[in-house]
Amino acid sequence: MRIGEIVPDLELSVYRHNIIETIKLSQYAGKWVILFFYPGDFTFVCPTELEELAQFYPQFKKEQAEIISLSTDSVYVHKAWHDTSPGIAKIQFPMAADQNGKIAKLFGIYLEEEGVALRGTFIIDPDRRLVGIEVNGNSVGRSSKELLRKLTAFKFVREHPGNVCPASWTKEKKSLKPGLDLVGKL
């Protein structure tokens, strides 16, 4: 998948709210979706990322976004992790199983020799168009605060055509209008 491409209507087996179910991306039509890949349950860095994401989840919901975490673990492993870890028990978003790595392969982040995904974050707009990608090696965790900032920036430019967001842009800062912001500065 590349920026600007339409993400297929993926069907995912998920664990959420003590229920194992199947969901499709089309269920989130009109919403933003964040696919949050991580290497595996019961590891070291992954719980720190997912616990932080759980803390920020209400803020993502306010932005009309759904988070779906994915690893190559089964939904039963997700349930066991959720049942035994106080931090993971706080997760309210769907935890998807990508046991054969099919979805991680689609996004180009599957490590064949290890059978796990890289730390990949994919922001999908309400039209299922891929607008943001972040991929890290598995030894370095991501920031939920920065992910939320990026989401709000993508939402802003979607809602305000012709605007762009400079480095470290937040809602409190001024956006730019290419062309117009250069007038009188040359």
pLDDT in tens, 42-95: 999 999 999 999 999 999 999 999 999 999 999 999 999 999 999 999 999 999
Backbone angles phi, psi at 159, to 5 degrees: -80, -15
Could you tell me how far CA 174 lies from the centroid of its own chain?
A: 25
Contact 53, 69 (CB under 8 A): yes
Q: What value does the CA radius of gyration of the chain take, rounded to a whole number of Å?
A: 17
- Average per-residue pLDDT for the chain: 94
In the chain, domain spans: 11-142
The catalytic position among 10, 14, 33, 46 is 46
CATH of domain 11-142: 3.40.30.10
For 135-166, write each residue's pLDDT tens digit: 999 999 999 999 999 999 999 999 999 999 99
Q: Is 165 a catalytic residue?
A: no
